[in-house]
Chains A and B, each alone.
Chain A
Amino acid sequence: MSYTWNWGIFFDVSPDGTHTYLTLLLFGAGWTLATALSAWVIALVFGSIVGVLRTTPHPWLVRFATGYVELFRNVPLLVQMFLWYFVLPEVVPRAVGLWLKQMPNASFYTAVVCLGLYTSARVAEQVRAGITSLPRDQSLAGLALGFTLPQTYRYVLMPMAYRIILPPLTSEFLNIIKNSAVALTIGLLELTARAREMQEYSFQVFEAFTAATVVYIVINIVVVFTMRRLERRVAVPGYIGMGTPVH
């Protein structure tokens, strides 16, 4: 091999003159987490609303929600990123466009909105699957007790549905962390971007990418571990965690 390893490179000062490469990678990890967590809030809120709409008995609401899901699922994330970052400021009124372009940390906000809505379509599918996996009697019983439709969702269906879809939601959360790397194309200096930057400045390609890989794996392990604990805490005895739900 003609490649020279140098693991000490992480403690060298980067060309910015003050921070070591390691510090910059950790800054990157911070932005990755900040982006993923903020986008996750949007994804959960919009995903829940759209997922619920798809299960309501109103055909127009179902049609709207289906369209929403198909729209966000059938365009690649990178293209959506470009639409939000390059196209949106051009097609809104000039003053709004200027404000969008001059906003500090524009790539961060764009990435959060884009990732949030992109993931919300996937969350919506999970929420819908969770609700439809419940026996129909549950919503009928709720309505028979005099709950309105929103109350039935709020007190009867959603508390069960969320518990059922916790494992797939965990995968979606892991996906949002990984997908945040796509934001490097619009200039967000998250973890992968920092690793790439370190590779360009120091020429230590494999050290830089190994470090980023290790950080991603650690984040993954922490998330999976935390979610397992949460799953155990909120499990409904005799219903979830015993294999397939018994109907």
Chain B
Amino acid sequence: MFGSFDTDVIVRSLPYLFYDGMTFTLTLTALATAGGIAFGTALALMRLSSFTVLSGLAGAYVNLMRSVPLVLVIFWFYFLVPYIGQWITGSPRPIQVGAFASSLVTFTLFEAAYFCEIMRAGIQSIPRGQRDAAEAVGMTYAQSMRYIILPQAFRNMLPVLLTQTIILFQDTSLVYVLSITDFLGAASKVAQRDGRLVEMYLFAAAIYFVISLTASQLVRIIQRRTAIVR
């Protein structure tokens, strides 16, 4: 049972777990969220566009990403990114891409599909009259999006976007399949080196739980603060 529970192994590995592991996890989460929201918003605008080619392309992309497991997408991009890099830079052979860059590309492109659906709902929640009004005062499409629609869509969708970020934070643990040292990867490496699976995995679970629960409580507060009284 818990008789042989060794807290010392956790204390000894704290610097490694947080300085190496958690830094990777949080940086990946933050950058992938920023990239995912930017690309996802662009996708949402494409999906809502009246050019059928654009909306069809964006729709196909989103549906494809949403019907395959993230683990498979991680494998896909791990092998695909070197070829994409070769194609972009025009080098004669597939380029070497680091673990961080590869996972960043993967999570940005994958989560963009989910952020796209959120932003689409946000844009559609703005009454059509506002677009018409923007056009009537002489704004271009870009201006009406930039100054009228998107700021409101972001505000309405802020809690959902943040909740998706918490999901993204938990999902980053899947980079484990590429043997990357994220927080879980670090815990797992210590666990296997020292034969301390029980301690390390329970500790990792507790840390994920505390961070996710705290974050979701904060989202609830933000939700109450940002709600527009209608």
Residues of A within 8 A of B (CB): 1-3, 70-71, 73-80, 82-83, 86-87, 90-91, 93, 174, 178-182, 184-185, 192, 195-196, 199, 205-206, 209, 212-213, 216-217, 220
Contacts and interface: CB of A to CB of B under 8 A. Distances in A.
Contact of B1 (A80, A91, A195, A217): A91
A223 B177 CA distance: 28
B177 A184 contact: yes
| Chain B binding surface SS class | helix
A74 B174 contact: no
Contact of B201 (A82, A180, A184): A82
A72 to B, nearest CB: 10
Nearest to A71: B209
Interface of B: 1-2, 64, 67-72, 75-76, 79-80, 83, 86-87, 92-94, 170-171, 173-174, 176-177, 184, 188, 191, 197-198, 201-202, 204-205, 208-209, 212-213, 216
A118 to B, nearest CB: 11
Contacts of A220: 67
Contacts of B79: 199, 205-206, 209
Contact of B174 (A73, A90, A91, A182): A182
Contacts of B171: 76
B69 A75 contact: no
B173 A79 contact: yes
B190 to A, nearest CB: 13
Contacts of B204: 79
Contacts, number: 108
B84 to A, nearest CB: 11
Given A3-B83, A80-B205, A217 B68 contact: yes
| Chain A binding surface SS class | helix
Contact of A87 (B67, B80, B198): B198
A73 B87 CA distance: 40
A209 B72 contact: yes
A185 B197 contact: no
B176 A75 contact: no
A216 B64 CA distance: 10
20 contacts: A1-B83, A1-B87, A2-B92, A2-B93, A74-B212, A78-B174, A78-B184, A79-B208, A82-B197, A83-B202, A91-B2, A179-B69, A181-B70, A181-B71, A184-B177, A192-B75, A212-B68, A216-B67, A217-B67, A217-B68
A221 to B, nearest CB: 8
A181 B198 contact: no
Given A87-B198, A185-B176, A74 B72 contact: no
B63 to A, nearest CB: 9
Given A76-B208, A78-B173, A205-B79, A216 B72 contact: yes
Contacts of A71: 209
A130 to B, nearest CB: 19
Contacts of A192: 69, 71-72, 75
Contacts of A79: 173, 184, 201, 204-205, 208
A78 B176 contact: yes
Nearest to A224: B67
A48 to B, nearest CB: 23
A78 B183 CA distance: 12
